[in-house]
Structure 1
Amino acid sequence: MPSSRTPEPAAIHYRVEPSDLYAHLFRVALTITRPQALQEVSLPVWIPGSYLVREFSKNLQELKAHQGKREVALIQLDKHRWQADCSVDKPLVLTYCVCAYDTSVRTAWLDTSRGFFNGTSLCLRVHGQEKQRHTLDIASTPATAGWSVATGLAALKADKKGFGLYAAQEYDELVDCPVEMGMFWIGRFTAGGIAHRFVVAGAAPSFDGKRLLADTQKICETAIRFWHGDGKAPFRSYLFMLNAVGDGYGGLEHRNSTALICGRRDLPRLGETRAAEGYTTLLGLISHEYFHTWNVKRLRPSEFTEHDYSRENYTQLLWFFEGFTSYYDDLLLRRAGLIDESTYLKLVTKTINQVLQTPGRAVQTVAQASFDAWVKYYRQDENTPNATVSYYTKGSLVALCLDLALRRESKTSLDEVMRALWTRCHGGPMAEDDLRTVLEELAGRSFDAELAQWVHGTTELPLTELLAAHGVHLKAETPQWAQRLGLRVGESHSVHIKTVLRGGAAEKAGMTPGDEWLGIEVNQQGWRISKLEDVAFYAGTETALTALVARDGRLLRLALELPSRGPSSALRKTARGPVPAPAVPDTISLSVANAAAVGRWLN
């Protein structure tokens, strides 16, 4: 909404102009009202919520500095820091361009139809003045005359399209409010007494915006009730920014907004009443990022009390902040009435199978995986499934196990734990000891043993036992061929091997990522294959065959022993405890054995 308030002078002021849409260039002017001697500035190397050093300074160019008409010398100190040889009696103005050519939610994008940026990609940090008031002037040009602007920043003086002056109390707030620009669709609703906006760029004419708003409103109301009952949410307004593309998926949370990407075909369509699988996935993403408004943006690891934008910020708690959020994103869809129990259990089944089919769960704890996110989760390669486990998926199963254990043993639940943590930590930094304390206070006993095994150990989670106690039967199923062979592949005219899982039949045969599996020989006959199912078709009842593989221009003949067709047993217990992860990963299914017990858990 436009504002008529008189803008107040700010210590730090940015002017951002989409200067060259064809070259993808934003032009930025930074004015430092009262610079320090030898004023230092820098561009962050990462963005909170995405744990990878992305080197945003690689996109910065033509950096210059002036005081009045005098050009000020700049010395580059390292890959992302500069020092200005300036005086302290005049404002210092730095001008530069940023190439915005990343369609993800993490950096910046600019072309002839849309602009988007995070402050971490465009706004130099003024060292020593981060806590000063910052203002941002988003300028229009003739090329963007038909565009609008959406951001979570507070408007000081903006026109009806949203171009104009915005304010932030400090640098952290400035860079935590991304900006969407273009000719987007916009809708509004109220949830928990809070005004919400939803902007969508790139939607097809079949897009049903009314349905998206209604469903998102249910998610937001359910989340606010989860945390506060009839109380107020800790923000005055909220903005969803969704970019619909040909193929894409992802989101990044912010303090009063979120940036999302989805496939254009995953949006709800006019005339359709049944939710497609892709739309359910989108609703889960919306629920996930909105839940983060509490769980990671406010209640957050103690290591994130203050962000250091110059380097990695380590914590072992991503299994809690990402994993527990992943548990609640789909659960809140169920509580909001957007999916039924069957659909919810299918989503839980998918998560369990993803973890069971990751050999790295027996190698690395989920706490270690959290700490190593900077070099493992965000830098995945052919060996990733063998070396680590996702703190999203296993973390969500830890949350599931804690919730089911609490419900079975006492009159409390993980819901109560989350709310008690919010109260105990005043909606701010928390440590694992806070979780331990709250668990013991609410349950009447220590959960240290469970946390040691489930979070800081690699013991298989007691899913079978805990799900059964709440009316859900877990059954091991015959795995698909990729799991049976220990492979992750691409299939076209031949089978392209992407990952060879640890301990599987393919690894024992000598297959390696990058191989092209062309065919097999069985009983002195050769057969061409284009997909893994062809192996079963041509092998028949034989269990020993020769795989014909192309590697680095050579043709190889590899002896392959086909594994048993039956289910394996990672979840089976013995008198001595859980068995180790099998060579053939489990595939499981869930079914309702006691509808009343399931209802008490999910509703």
Structure 2
Amino acid sequence: MNKILFALLLLGFSLNAQTNTYHISFENAEHHEAQITASFPQVKSNSLILSMSRTSPGRYALHEFVKNVYDLKATNSKGAALEVKRIDPYSWEISDHDGTVNIEYKLFANRGDGTYSQIDETHAHLNMPATFMFAEELKHRPIKVHFGVRKDLNWKVATQLKLESGTTYSAPDLYYFLDSPTEISDFDLKEFETNGQTIQFALHHKGTEEEFDQYFDQVKSIVEQEEAVYGELPDFDFDKYTFLACYMPNVSGDGMEHRNSTILTDKESLSDGGMKGNIGTVAHEFFHAWNVERIRPAELEPFDFSGANMTGSLWFAEGFTSYYTGLMLCRAKVNTPKEYVEGLSGTFNYVWNSPALEYYSPVDMSYQATFVDAATSVDPTNWENTFVSYYSYGSILGLALDLSLREKELNLDDFMELMWEKYGKTEVAYKVEDIEKSLAEYAGEQFAAEFFRDHIYNSKMPNYQELFKSVGISLSRDADKFHFGADLTKTDEGLRIYRNTFKGSPAYAAGLDSGDIIISLSDKLVTTPEEFAEQIQNSDYETVKVKFKRFGEEKETKVILKGNPTYSIKLDENASEKALQRRKKWLEAK
């Protein structure tokens, strides 16, 4: 949101501009229900259209939250019933009012993550688009919301919304309101001050104070290292940023950025692997406070709550953020350099061994978000062969760009700071070509043109062998090991191929496909995936006979094995002193 506009909205609010109000309570929390009322005064139009959002900030697919709304009623200022007419799957028309429209409805909510809402006896985890109806024509009005907390459950409120009094909060407009998730529970809270702003961490969990202390120390280190990349924190609205963490067994793992807050959910408690397993999401989502929330793709500004949102910049917005996720954990000393470098292998292999690069560039992969970002469908897809996540693709390209810049005695940190100065602090949305222009400004026109031509608009692999060597890292393949190319799971009938075989793999070339049941290899029965892998590696021949069942009919094919395409990334103990110094400068804390 433009800072001047935000200031004007706050001024309007302070001058008692007409305010839409909401009230939500949770008397039937054990059955995942909320009771919601809202009031829209001084409506000037003859009919007021009320809608539920179809998507949520930070998501690019449709979610159709309206399916969990029911028992809608409307009245005027005197309490007289008004006609409610359903005009499309997402909206209602309310006519013949007297200038005031009051509504009440019930909401069912039972998925705790970064997109949906969840209500039960442990908490009210609220994503606003999944919870509250709104009137598009009144979107510029301020909003007040009162949370009817369950005092018998010791519930409190954590949110980026502005506290008015008690459990009543406000937002300057509808957009800010819908972008303000709220955790209501018996959470623990820690905070620290940095450069005049407060960083809060609200943690809903069943762990100990000591575990939270240890975790919060890591959070502070991450905040410091990410601030060092950009040279400063954003100016958070109301001088506050809030992590809304819910590590409970009833939620679904997720992370979702917002303007001055983020949602963090996972089933793992801090004592059950979450101390290590959840901290990466903290690093990723806080980096978004700069990259995506303020350094923002033009196609997402403003965010469209009525349809899917698409941009070709997710390789940068999400992918480069993913690159910095691992790097920040290393610089914050949450992970060692060895853990960080060796941990690159999984993402690296996923990207560069994917047949999907034949079809789409990173920009094209970004366009697929509408269909893959928590989207749902019932028909099978061929994603194994046609899609690489823009998170992973962009992450590995961010690594390549950083190492390429460091060969020129430059670095990606300074480039990100330049993007922050040009597009983040000013909150002027960018397009893909603006990233290229900024890179040309920073590193030279030829460098930028070649990088974008080869790796952003096309899918050419950078020369990682030389790039890794420049920072004392080795890249190798064990081609002596055989590769089959199918993912198997044990069933009563045999080993079932449970997803599409990869184009170019031995299994694909032999005609094997998802759903096939493998019975034997070269006339030897195989009953477990481990036994299958062992027989492949111990095969005396490059060609193996495979018996399998398809649609109940037994078949046979020959599979010509290939060398294992998997890359291994490790610290090079024999690296030059120059490479070691460059690696240290890359990975050490700022």
One-letter code of the match for 1:154?
K
Alignment of 1:84 onto 2:87: no
Deviation at 1:397, TM superposition (A): 1.5
The residue identity in structure 1 corresponding to 2:260 is N
Which residue of the partner structure matches residue 74 of structure 1? Answer: 84
Cα displacement (A) at 1:437: 1.9
Indicate the residue corresponding to 1:600 in structure 2: 585
Q: Provide the residue aligned with 2:211 in structure 1.
A: 208
2:144 corresponds to which residue? 135
Aligned to 2:279: 283
Residue 443 of structure 1 corresponds to which residue in structure 2?
A: 443
State the distance in 1 between where 2:60 and 2:489 align: 28
Q: Look up the match of 1:254.
A: 258
Aligned equivalent of 2:559:
561
* Contact 1:203-1:264 within 8 A present in 2 as well: no
- Deviation of 1:99 after TM superposition, in Å, equals 0.6
Structure 1: stretches of 5+ with no match in the other structure: 159-163, 270-275, 568-584
Q: Bigger shift: 375-384 or 75-84?
A: 375-384
- Name the residue aligned to 1:570: none
Distance in 2, Cα, partners of 1:398 & 1:153: 36
Q: From the superposition, tell whether residues 516 and 382 of structure 1 become closer, same or farther in structure 2 (CA, over 3 Å).
A: farther
Q: Which residue of the partner structure matches residue 520 of structure 1?
A: 520
Alpha-carbon separation, structure 2, partners of 1:59 and 1:349: 42
Structure 2 matches for 1:166-245, cutoff 5 A? 166-204=169-207, 208-229=211-232, 233-235=235-237, 236-245=239-248
Residue of structure 1 equivalent to 2:400 = 401
The 3-state SS of whatever aligns with 1:596 is helix
Conservation of the 8 A alpha-carbon contact between 1:422 and 1:428: no
Higher helix share: 2
Offset of 1:408 from its aligned partner?
1.2
Q: Does 1:509 align with 2:510?
A: yes
Distance 1:110 1:479 in 2: 54
- Give 1:238 shift: 1.5
| Alignment partners' CA distance in 2, 1:54 and 1:479 | 47
Equivalent-residue separation in structure 2 for 1:480 and 1:148 (angstroms): 57
Match among 357, 364, 368 for residue 368 of structure 1: 364
Q: Who is 1:301 aligned against?
A: 297
Q: Tell whether the 8 Å contact from 1:15 to 1:137 is kept in structure 2 after alignment.
A: yes
Q: AA paired with 1:385? A: E
| Identity among equivalent pairs (%) | 23
Contact in 2 for aligned 1:211/1:268 (Cα 8 Å): no
* CA–CA distance in structure 2, aligned partners of residues 166 and 479 of structure 1: 63
**Distance of aligned partners of 1:504 and 1:26 in 2 relative to their CA distance in 1, 3 Å threshold:** same
Deviations 1:51-81 (A, max 9, x none): 2101011111111111022211122221111
Name the aligned partner's letter for residue 83 of structure 1. Answer: E
Provide the rounded CA distance (Å) in 2 between the counterparts of 1:174 and 1:439.
Answer: 35
Instruction: State the structure with bigger RCO (CA 8 A, min sep 6), 1 or 2.
Output: 2
- Taking structure 1 as the reference length, the TM-score comes to 0.87
Give the superposition deviation at 1:544. 3.3
Residue 316 of structure 2: aligned partner: 320
Paired letter, 2:23 = R
CA distance in 1, matches of 2:115, 2:19: 27
Map 1:265-280 onto structure 2 (within 5 A).
Answer: 265=269, 267=270, 279-280=275-276
CA distance in 2: counterparts of 1:137 and 1:155, whole angstroms: 10
Show the counterpart of 1:51: 60
Contact 2:341 2:569 (C-alpha < 8 Å) held by counterparts: no
The residue aligned with 1:414 is 412
By how many angstroms is 1:320 displaced?
0.6
Deviation per residue, 1:125-179 (Å, 9 max, x gap): 212111110111101346x542222111111011xxxxx2100001111111111
Matching residue of 1:547:
546
Alignment partners' CA distance in 2, 1:262 and 1:21: 21
Aligned positions of 1:75-114 closer than 5 A: 75-87=85-97, 89-114=98-123
Q: Match of 2:534?
A: 536
Q: Which runs of 5+ in 2 are unaligned?
A: 1-12
Distance 2:480 2:381 in 1: 21
CA distance in 2, matches of 1:141, 1:285: 29
Q: Please give the secondary structure, in 2, of the residue aligned with 1:590.
A: strand
Q: 1:437 to 1:374 in 2, by over 3 A?
A: same
Does the CA-based 8 Å contact 2:549-2:555 persist in structure 1?
no
Q: Distance in 2 between matches of 1:206 and 1:510?
A: 56
Give the conservation status (yes or no) of the 8 Å contact 1:406–1:412. Answer: yes
Q: 1:248, 1:263 within 8 Å by CA — same for their partners in 2?
A: yes
Give, in angstroms, the shift of residue 207 of structure 1: 6.8
Query: How many aligned residue pairs are there?
Result: 558
Indicate if the aligned counterparts of 1:549 and 1:558 stay in contact, CA closer than 8 A: yes
Contact 1:136 1:167 in 2 (8 A): yes
Match of 2:73 among 64, 84, 99: 64
Contact 1:52 1:375 (8 Å CA) reproduced: yes
Cα distance change, pair 521–497 in 1 and its aligned pair in 2 (3 A) = closer
1:162-206 deviation line (CA, Å, top 9, x unaligned): xx2100001111111111122223322334442222222233459
Q: CA RMSD in A?
A: 2.6
